[in-house]
Amino acid sequence: MKTNRQSGFSAIEIVIGVIVVIIIGLLGWKFFSSMQSDSQKNDLAQTSKAIELDTTNLAGLVDLATIKESALDGKDAATVTGIELKTQDGKLVYSATLSDGTVITFDATSGEKIATESEDKSDRALESIPATFKGGIGLAKAVEVAKSTMPGKIINKIEIESDDGIVLYSIRFTDEARVDINAETGAVVRAKTPSSSKKSSESKSSDDRNSTSDQSKDDDSSTSSGSGKTDDSSSAEAPKSTDDDSQSKSGSGSGSKTDDDSEDEEDLR
């Protein structure tokens, strides 16, 4: 006799269905994670590309002497205090800062003026780049020296500035490291890494704490000295009070004796 199968799913079928759903979910999660990771990598690559300075054709850029001359056009009383080569909106630009606070941006390839703005210069004491400076060793050579000094690092921008009468190519890297190069001789003046800057900052903080501690000790010493002086003064005043008491007692005794003599004279009368 043939038995009819009951409607519904068996336990085995339910288990198999659950397993299939779990597998599909895991595959979907893995695919989504992979897509998200690729997106993050692309964003990081685009960011790195945006902040990296293209140094492949520095010789084809407008020379610094021309940028200085263009920046000072109509600015008879001003001087150039700094020039910066950086990436802006996907292209190389020069930003020339003047002594009057004006910042003029030029297209580094064509020399065309892009923008002019003013900034607050009240908190800065900037040294002017000498009018005789024409570029020295040049940008390309400065970059070559910087890369050999700190190999493997990514250049972010180049600043041209004057320090104690010496014009410098200050090559800045994306990790905040820098190499300052004498623009006339090509010699490395200083090289700083993020770790050395941190150590310098920590050393300065330690010196400040030690200075504060020493000052506190000096203040405590001065206070103790002043306190001792006050005690000495009090001690010096003590004998004076004793003398006054003696005089007071002497005066009091003299007054009593006079009253007794008066009474004796009255009895005799």
Task: Output the six-digit token pair for 114.
Answer: 């892009």
Is residue 91 domain-resident? yes
Report the C-alpha gap between 125 and 171 in whole angstroms: 21
Number of structural domains, the chain? 1
Look up the pTM and report it.
0.57
**Residue whose structure tokens are 């990514």:** 154
**CA 205: distance to chain centroid?**
13
Instruction: Give the mean pLDDT of the chain.
Output: 76
Is residue 74 domain-resident? yes
**Owning domain of residue 88:** 58-199
From edge to edge, which strands make up the β-sheet containing 166-173? Answer: 113-118, 102-107, 91-98, 80-88, 155-163, 166-173, 178-182, 188-192
Is residue 8 domain-resident? no
Task: Output the six-digit token pair for 89.
Answer: 């909106």
- What was the pLDDT predicted at 107? 97
Q: How confident is the model at residue 35 (pLDDT cuts 50, 70, 90)?
A: confident
Is residue 6 domain-resident? no
Is residue 69 domain-resident? yes
CB 111 within 8 A of CB 66: yes
pLDDT in tens, 139-192: 999 999 999 999 999 999 999 999 999 999 999 999 999 999 999 999 999 999
Report the C-alpha gap between 67 and 65 in whole angstroms: 5
pLDDT above 70 as % of the chain: 63
Is residue 177 domain-resident? yes
Is residue 109 domain-resident? yes
- What was the pLDDT predicted at 108? 97
Is residue 171 domain-resident? yes
Average pLDDT over residues 113-121: 86
Q: Which residues pair with 169 in a beta bridge?
A: 160, 181
